[in-house]
A and B are shown apart, each in its own frame.
Chain A
Amino acid sequence: MNRDQLDQIKNEFKEKISHIENIKDLEELRVQFLGKKGVITQFMKGMGKLSKEERPIVGKKANEVRKEIQDSLDHIKGDIEAKILESRLEREKIDVTLPGKPCQCGAHHPLNIVTEELEDIFLGMGFSIVSGPEIEWVKYNFDDLNMPKDHSSRDKQESFYYQDDIVLRTQTSPVQVRTMLSQKPPLRIISPGRVYRSDEIDATHSPVFHQMEGLVIDKGIAMSDLKGTMDLFAKKLFGNKTKTKFRPHQFYFTEPSAEMDVTCFKCGGEGCPVCDYSGWVELLGCGMVHPNVLRACGIDPEEYSGFAFGLGLDRIALTKYGISDLRLLFENDVRFLSQFK
């Protein structure tokens, strides 16, 4: 037992490890040299036979050899693992251009998308969303809204009736009446919903369509507030550069009344087919709530004032997406519906 023997062990190890190619052989080699019954272990056990002087020297050398072997094993192990990983990665390469496994995904109806967009804008301005029955009292749909008794919109040619005093609502305004009758001012509400008029269906008309109306009642509400609120709404809907124009108009429900145009969202006011080359698109009707309406709903026009507005949701959806025919909205062809994801 001497240092030469250690050199011999070392050389033997070097010779063997140079042939190792996999983890299993490497482990066997480790056992052969460093295991409990391994060469080095055996050697170290035999060191007790050495003289006192020799023991520390040979011991030191033996430890060095053991460490050398250990390091070499670790190093080779690292190399082999790296090779294995590399070959695995190579083996596991896939064609990333193959299609993915289908994951179903539906979509909102475009009318709903528009409705929610508008709702969000008004929610942000402190409005609440309310709804009401579509089959409605004539009183709420016409009388309380200051609609003249002989107005043609009350005719059977223009509105659908269930009974003489019950009509399919022709506007969402009765919701405003209901709200004013049931709640005290201050009020800020919008009422999106379905309305009915006796029109034959074509590219721009439908007996069933959708409106959103809004109502604000408070002390000291002025027409300038109506203008400011509607202008802000238009800017939120179509962008900050949008301009608005208020034209005088007439509605029975409001006095004064106005129609609001916005700069064409397609061309920004330059003039294009969407705006009929005028640069403006009509967006909504609005006005200061008529005192007769306030009174019919139990609100004192001396104390409170307010404004109301209404717009057609279907038409906004059509213009927003450039859909040319209203009937497409009601048809529900998958090829149509799947475009609004």
Chain B
Amino acid sequence: MRKLTRLSAAFVTATLFTTSFPALAAESAELQALRLQVNALEQQLRVIARQIEIKEEAAAAAAPTTPKITVNDKGFTLASPDAANSLRLRGLVQFDSRVFFNDGGGVLNNAFVLRRARIISEGVFAKNYSFQIVPEFGGSAVSIVDANFGIAISPALQLKFGRFKSPVGLEQLQSDAWGFFNERSIVNNLVPNRDIGIQASGDLFGARLNYAVGIFNGVADGASTTNTDFDEEKDLVGRVFVSPFKDDAGSAVQGLSFGIAGNYSRQKTAAGHSGGYRTDGQQTFFAYNAAVIADGATWRVSPGLDYRHGSFGLLGEYVLSTVNVRPSATGAKAELQHTGWQIAAGYVLTGENSSYAGVVPATNFNPATGTWGAFEVVARYANVDIDDAAFPLFASASTAASEATSLGVGLNWYLSKAVRFTFDYYQTDFGFNVAAPAVSSNPVLRQDEKAFITRFQLTF
């Protein structure tokens, strides 16, 4: 029996051995094939990883020699790898609709206006040398608005030569695109606009103090240079603006800046006085008589402040403008002092920060995603008071107002940083000299100006 059991065991073992050996061999071959396959796959993975690595290394190596092209809401920029040289193209287009209410039976034309259309070229060479050329295609003729070049010696000393804004008016210095309103306030009638000259400016004390001093040909109130100087005298301009709390994070006064600017020069000829002061609706409410000429000191003083705190923004300024004029070439000289002031405020309803350089919406207007951009409400009160002594020798009381007071309210819709719709209503009351007739000879001044100006603006 035991023998039989042994025989059975041997039989079973032999059977198992003979049947499982080919299976084991096949399994081993399959394992080997799999191993080779895994190795091959592993090599392929390594090759792919290395190819990616090589591409990244090549990109990193090329970076220091590859020019950078940037396209964003600040324009199109082509820069050298070290950013020492760059060329930037920007643009500004403002398309307006002006509608006047109660304008004495259509005295003023409702109109579409291409207010500004500019292609702005800016560049930097060798890090410290810059230029800016701004042609204007809006309006009735093509002109050059700005053309200047600069030398950046240090943050504390930057030199600028050419045609650019004279640094007197606070709102005047703000970009044409980013004021609270689509039109600057009537106070800007009293400060110079673009002039030709040399300016030194810079930031001191950790940029808490900004200064500018310059020497310019000199221009009349609200005027821009025509590339001609009508006298030998030069306009000395200075400005100091401080932001004493700019680094006090969280402080309520962190966004407070204030300062004073002024200029002094001597002007001659009719070009030395203003060609006319205009309303928000761009109608002339004051102009000198045709024979009047400037002759003597012209100076201005303008304190101003700008305050930003979160969504709230405030801008205020005062201007005293003095001009010496004669009623004619042989008439007696008189010194006239005109004053103006404004206070303007805005509040961004959608929570973004108010800024002197424009609101950056948290989201762009996009109906597909249900985002609307940013909305800002604005209000402004401004006054310009003409020296009483201007009447009647230097201006006609029957055709010129002696005072203009403007109230403006508006809504700004920032569809993106680059696109803005503004909807502004302006109402301007006129005051007259005691010598003025009951009804002004100037139909524009027979009633308050009520203007609704909307603007579509594209800027980058």
Query: Do A and B form a real pair?
Result: no
Residues in chain B within 8 A of chain A (CB atoms): none
